[in-house]
Amino acid sequence: MNFSFWWIVTYYFRSAVKWFLRKTTGLCELQRICYGEIRGPQRTHAIERSLSLSKHKHIQQLILQLNDISGKEEFLGSQKKQVLHDAVRAVLLAKQINPRIHRQFVINMGQCIEHIWGYKQLISEVERLRTTQYDCDNIEHETQLYNLWRMLKPDEELEGRITKQWQNIGFQGEDPKTDFRGMGLLGLENLVFFATFYCSAAQHVLTHSYHPQHGYCFAIVGINLTSLAWTLLKEGCAKSYVYNNIENEISLKMFHHFYCYLFYEFDRFWMECRPKDIMEFSNIKSKFEYNIRNYLKDPNNDFRIGVTVHNI
């Protein structure tokens, strides 16, 4: 009863405030946000909230359409420009905003829409990879697996497809495919991206995994961090990271970079904790996740782990 009462009060109070500000400023809430908030997470979060709470029928229809487009992974790509144009135009018509007078609003609103539904599409793309199981009969999957070995062990020839050598880069058994069951192809692509685009950093982390006391299974830990990265993305915690990368288009690469930052930072945190053995993994991972979640709450953080990795 109390919840319903306060929900009703808040709902109508917000409507009254919006009406008052519209009358006194001549600007709708979306305009006030676009003009009043600096570019980045604060503005995009505020626009996202305003759109989600809108009672306007055409705005609600627009949200459903954009959700459908991003869910089908058709928002980003060749038709993005047209989709954005139509979306902003729908907002202009719904809110009766003159685009000739409010050109900056058109630009700012387009950027927010691109980030909001680009993020939703990124979730869809990542989920598709996560649910795609590793197939040893798929030449592309096998090629990626062999590339992972070559990037991490360039001076060591792989004896065969099924071999204990895989344990040298942190897999549990002789056939790595069994370790990808939880995160599917996403786990493999994350590892390959880290080993390829951050080669020196990956080698540095791999070296730490061989430590006689503080060592760990490189690949297994990497797949666990894929799960963490996916959870943060799905829950929306990674929005500050994505929305802060305003100069880069949202793409699957952005998620891979996010994963690489997590892996590099986890390795640093792990070595600082100086665990007695791998049995402390769960506890240390929980502490690491807590730190990361708090870090991501700050909209001013773009989750760069330092100059070292970016210069590699």
pLDDT by 10-residue block (mean), the chain, 312 residues: 49 55 72 92 94 94 97 91 96 95 96 96 98 97 97 95 96 96 97 96 96 96 98 96 83 95 96 93 97 90 53 38
Give the integer Cα–Cα distance in Å for 247 and 274.
38
Of 81, 104, 130, the residue at which a domain comes to its end is: 130
Give residue 1's pLDDT: 46
Q: Could you tell me if 41 and 90 lie in one domain? A: yes
Q: Could you tell me if 299 and 211 lie in one domain? A: yes
Neighbours of 8 (CB within 10 A): 10
Q: Could you tell me if 41 and 118 lie in one domain? A: yes
Give residue 14's pLDDT: 57
The boundaries of the domain holding residue 264 are 139-310
Give residue 129's pLDDT: 98
Neighbours of 44 (CB within 10 A): 27
First to last CA, the chain: 58
Angle, helices 139-152/184-197, rounded to nearest 10 degrees: 40
Q: Could you tell me if 171 and 262 lie in one domain? A: yes
Q: Could you tell me if 154 and 271 lie in one domain? A: yes
Q: Could you tell me if 21 and 58 lie in one domain? A: yes
Q: What is the tally of structural domains in the chain?
A: 2
Q: The pTM is what?
A: 0.89
Give residue 96's pLDDT: 94
Could you tell me if 187 and 180 are in contact, meaning their C-beta atoms sit under 8 angstroms apart? yes
Give the integer Cα–Cα distance in Å for 17 and 69.
33
Give residue 77's pLDDT: 85
Give the contacts of 53 (CB within 8 A, at least 6 positions apart).
14
Could you tell me if 123 and 237 are in contact, meaning their C-beta atoms sit under 8 angstroms apart? no
